[in-house]
Structure 1
Amino acid sequence: MTFCQEKITGLRRIAAATLIATSMLAPWSSRAGDMGYAVIPTVIIYPGDTISPADLQEVEVTNPNLAGDYAKSIDQVRGLISKKTLLPGRTISMSALREPFTVTRGANIRLVFSIGAMTISAAGTPLEDGFIGQLIRVRNMDSGVIVSGTVLADGTVHVAAK
């Protein structure tokens, strides 16, 4: 065999090996593109911090074993509050986030009590943080009496009748 024939035979072997490797990897590469995206922090986010899009990055998921309730888009986590430390380069579990509180402990709020057409309103202060629809304890600022009420979207608390 001449040098030229050996070179051609070697190139054919390389081309065949490349073709085989490419055909074997093709199913994996197409699956990786179908897995979507995950959101990762670019900085450390501490418990209680509000999630800011400036601190996040969307990356393509390439690990076929990645499962769970991880965030898939920045819009999905924008404005939420971290419940635990989130590390750069790690996916963000949705269970590690919460909605911001509608009312916070110690703030000045309005208490509302309604029966029929009659509505009574008073100043109050929550004794605990609360979300919309949550039943919390509130102190009436005028009387000092502690009552329970439901947090409304506007930040008022609707007092429950006893």
Structure 2
Amino acid sequence: MSGIATISRPLPLSLKVAAGLVALAALIVPVGSLAAELDLPVPAAVVYPGQSVADRGVAYKAFIVKDEKLPLYVIEDEILVGQVARRTLLPGKPILLSDLKTPDLVRAGASVTMVFREGGLIITGLGTALRSAAEGEIVRVRNADSGIVVSGIVEADGSVRIHG
């Protein structure tokens, strides 16, 4: 024991009621969460993976979006230009930025040109892409002559730059 005496008294009913109301209000009213009604671009028709949303048609629909969730959504149809669907998009549903990707320049199973550059030396060869990839992504390629699998980065022209 610390030598300090405590006397316990019951709390007044009004204080108990006030504490209960404060606790209830904290559950009902979120603090710092704001929302806005926005017209967001939505697909006008079903968009399948690899298809352009802009080419399939875009409409606008009103949604209530919380402020902290707003950066997750496509808010202007200009964002859709040059992008394709990563997954199936349904008509009338908002589009998440994560639902979009740049189109694949290299398709799985397709022949690609592998390019190795070191100083003034340039070596090219043919290979088969083992997966689809967009510009700037790393892709594995099986060399058509040796069967060896190498990794490289997809270039804007669809070739694969091999590292040394």
TM-score (ref. length: structure 2): 0.66
1:1-162 pair list within 5 angstroms: 37-59=39-61, 61=62, 63=64, 65=66, 67-68=69-70, 69-161=72-164
Greater share of strand residues, 1 or 2? 2
Offset at residue 112 of structure 1 (A): 0.8
The SS at the match of 1:95 is: helix
CA distance in 2, matches of 1:39, 1:51: 10
Greater share of helix residues, 1 or 2? 1
* Residue segments in structure 1 that go unaligned for 5+ positions in a row: 1-30
Partner letter of residue 141 of structure 2?
Answer: V
TM-score (ref. length: structure 1): 0.67
CA distance in 2, matches of 1:64, 1:109: 44
CA shift in 2, pair 1:117/1:96, >3 Å: same
The SS at the match of 2:106 is: coil
Single out whichever of 130-139 and 102-111 deviates more from structure 2: 130-139
Partner letter of residue 113 of structure 2?
Answer: R
Give the total of aligned pairs: 128
Query: 1:108-127, CA deviations, whole angstroms, 9 ceiling, x for partnerless residues?
Result: 21111112111111111111
CA distance in 1, matches of 2:118, 2:63: 58
Query: 1:6-39, CA deviations, whole angstroms, 9 ceiling, x for partnerless residues?
Result: xxxxxxxxxxxxxxxxxxxxxxxxx97xx65410
| CA RMSD after TM alignment | 2.4
Offset at residue 46 of structure 1 (A): 2.6
Over the matched positions of the two proteins, sequence identity in percent amounts to 33
CA distance in 2, matches of 1:71, 1:64: 12
CA distance in 2, matches of 1:49, 1:38: 20
Q: Does the Cα contact within 8 Å between 2:43 and 2:53 map onto a contact in 1?
A: no
Q: Does the Cα contact within 8 Å between 1:51 and 1:79 map onto a contact in 2?
A: no
